[in-house]
Amino acid sequence: MAISGAANGPNWIKRTENSPDTIASSVIADPLETSFDVIKEGRLIRHIVGLPSLLLHPTMALCEWSQGNERTPIVTNDSDHIVTESAARIFADLADPQTINRLDNGAWKAPFWQALSDAGLPLAWVPERLGGAGATLAEGFAVLGVAGRFAVAVPLAETLLAGWLLTRAGVAAPNGSMTIAPSRPSDRIIFDNDGTLSGSVIGIPFAAEAQHIAVLAHGEEGVVVALVAASDCTICEGRTLAGDPSNIVRFQRVKPLRYARAPLGLDYTALMLMGSVSRSVQTAGALESILSLSVSYANERVAFERPIGKFQAVQHNLARLAGETAIALAASGSAASTIGQSDSFDETEFFEGASAKIRCAEAATDGAAIAHQVFGAIGFTKEHILHRFTLRILAWRDDFGSESYWAAELGRHVAQEGADEFWPMVASR
């Protein structure tokens, strides 16, 4: 049946089976129900296989499908993906880079986070039985790609990762924003015999804003995953290049809210790879926007009596920027699809994940420089939005292992395996 409830007209979402009378909340009773017909003006316009809690929140249904909505879809991927389209709609409505760049305060953050939470996005990687949306890894990565396109400045990726880390160890994820520690490959937190956590870690993204921290710690009996209240830790002031919180966090005999032994294979490398692929996907999304902004600007900005996009020197710079964007999309997409189809972190995941972080970070370096060259002086002003993208992709290079770190790791691995094993490794992907 068609669902009613929109203020300005009918809704068009119909469940194929077990249709409830109304959809009143973001949590759907039957988690197995994952197939939908979207009906507009009496006509089936598409059949969707996806996640109920991500799909059927009424505000999202309204945004996405309200009658007479002439806005062009922001996501134009071939894969007609309602999860990312819905995410894009929330980003566009409540975290539009142009709008929030004009505001000098964080007043936009609370309603934005609320909308994300209502849509089930921050806990997308938490299974339904543990209170999340139970999205696939691929769906979560797709959302992060869109978040990158909007240079989203809230701990969405961090909360996704925290939810993933906690629930892989069977620890229930709380509501609200989270971050993860450590976020640098060499940092370690110790889990003592008395059940407390100790250690100092640097560069924890959004630690100063997050309510909870998901921690991977070393214990005497192996690796432990713990949930910690951020207020129980000492969090030092710190910011990334882009002005987002990035903090030193000190754990001084902090008692976790809950914890569990990490399952086999969930170790520091797995966390760093998962974080790296997330940052890579975000970087690729941001580069897509940087490319799009740069091309538009080159077509509009007139100098020497013509749009600067008519000059071959500028065209070639933009073609290079397209190349860097393509690299980031291909490398991050390859790694995300690999990890999305796998349940472990082995050689293949390492090869793909490390490559993605290396290439996306390199693309960030070169892509940001080219974009700023295209924009000239206005591009490095505070009032222009370009920095929201360029400074974030430059900052993300350092999270979960820099390109130098992963390159050295990957190089050592390839050297260890030897020349004869090299091509088979590349060709297997």
Partner 1 sequence: MSRKLQFDQIRLPPECDALRQEVRAFLADEIAQGTFDPHRPGHGDSHDRTFSKRIGAKGWIGMTWSKKYGGHERSFLERYVVTEEFRVANAPVRSHFVADRQSGPILLKYAPEHVKVNILPRICRGELCFVIGMSEPGSGSDLFAVKTKATKVDKGWRINGSKIWTSNAHIADYMIALFRTSPPTNENRRHGLTQFLVDMKTRGIKVNPIYHMSGQHDFNEVVFEDVFVPDDHVLGEIDGAWKQATSELAYERSGPERFLETFYLMLELIRAVGSEPDTRSAEGLGRLVAQLHTLRRMSVSVAGMLQAGKEPVVEAAIVKDLGTIWEQNLPNRVRELTAFVPPEIANRVTLEEQLAFATTIAPKLTIQGGTTEILRGIIARGLGLR
Q: If you write DSSP's letter for every residue of 130-198 in order, what string do you get? A: GTS----HHHHHHHHHHHHHTT--STHHHHHHHHHHHHHTTPPPPSS-EEEE--STT---EE-TTS-EE
- Contact set for partner 1, span 22-81 (CB under 8 A): 76-78
147 binds partner 1 (CB under 8 A): no
Quick one: CA dihedral 147, 150, 156, 157, positive or negative?
positive
Minimum gap (Å) between residue 123 Cβ and partner 1? 26
411 binds partner 1 (CB under 8 A): yes
CB-nearer residue toward partner 1: 17 or 423: 423
User: How many residues make contact with partner 1 (CB under 8 A)?
Assistant: 56
Minimum gap (Å) between residue 298 Cβ and partner 1? 6
Q: If you write DSSP's letter for every residue of 24-83 in order, what string do you get? A: -SSS-S-TT--EEEEEETTEEEEEEES-HHHH--HHHHHHHH-TT--PPPS---SS--HH
Quick one: CA dihedral 337, 343, 348, 352, positive or negative?
positive
Q: Which of 381, 369, 372, 364 is nearest to 297 (CA)?
A: 372
Amino acid at 154: V
CB-nearer residue toward partner 1: 113 or 351: 351
Among 12, 125, 351, 375, binds partner 1 (CB under 8 A): 351
Q: Which two tokens stand for residue 182?
A: 């450590």
- CB distance 286 to 148 below 8 Å: yes
* CA angle (382, 385, 388) in 5-degree steps: 90
Minimum gap (Å) between residue 47 Cβ and partner 1? 21
288 binds partner 1 (CB under 8 A): yes
414 binds partner 1 (CB under 8 A): yes
- Contact set for partner 1, span 310-349 (CB under 8 A): 310, 312, 314-316, 318-320, 322-323, 325-327, 329-331, 333-334, 337
Minimum gap (Å) between residue 50 Cβ and partner 1? 19
Phi, psi of 333 (to 5 degrees): -65, -40
298 binds partner 1 (CB under 8 A): yes
Q: Looking at residue 239, what DSSP letter applies?
A: B
Residue 212 CB neighbour total at 10 angstroms:
23
- CB distance 309 to 318 below 8 Å: yes
Q: Which two tokens stand for residue 341?
A: 């189809």
143 binds partner 1 (CB under 8 A): no
Distance CA 275, CA 34 (A): 28
Q: Which residue stretch of 158-166, 174-182, 222-230, 408-416 sits at the interface with partner 1 (rule: CB under 8 A)? A: 408-416
408 binds partner 1 (CB under 8 A): yes
Query: Measured in whole angstroms, how far is the alpha carbon of residue 23 from the centre of its chain?
Result: 27
CB-nearer residue toward partner 1: 304 or 423: 423
101 binds partner 1 (CB under 8 A): no
Minimum gap (Å) between residue 141 Cβ and partner 1? 11
Among 7, 49, 264, 419, binds partner 1 (CB under 8 A): 419
CB-nearer residue toward partner 1: 208 or 298: 298
Residue 28 CB neighbour total at 10 angstroms:
23
Minimum gap (Å) between residue 287 Cβ and partner 1? 10
Which residues does residue 179 pair with via DSSP β-bridges, in sequence order? 213
416 binds partner 1 (CB under 8 A): yes
Q: If you write DSSP's letter for every residue of 346-365 in order, what string do you get? A: -HHHHHHHHHHHHHHHHHHH
423 binds partner 1 (CB under 8 A): yes
End-to-end CA distance of the chain: 45
CB-nearer residue toward partner 1: 240 or 289: 289
CB-nearer residue toward partner 1: 7 or 419: 419
Minimum gap (Å) between residue 410 Cβ and partner 1? 4
> Residue 76: which residues within 8 A CB-CB, separation 6 or more?
none
Minimum gap (Å) between residue 372 Cβ and partner 1? 18
- Give me the 247-266 binding string for partner 1, x by CB under 8 A, dash otherwise: --------------------
Q: Which residue stretch of 31-39, 65-73, 87-95, 418-426 sits at the interface with partner 1 (rule: CB under 8 A)? A: 418-426
Minimum gap (Å) between residue 100 Cβ and partner 1? 23
Among 355, 370, 397, 398, binds partner 1 (CB under 8 A): 355
Distance CA 56, CA 53 (A): 6
Residues that bind partner 1 (CB under 8 A): 76-78, 288, 291-292, 295-296, 298-299, 309-310, 312, 314-316, 318-320, 322-323, 325-327, 329-331, 333-334, 337, 351-352, 354-355, 358-359, 362, 403-404, 406-412, 414-416, 418-419, 422-423, 426-427, 429
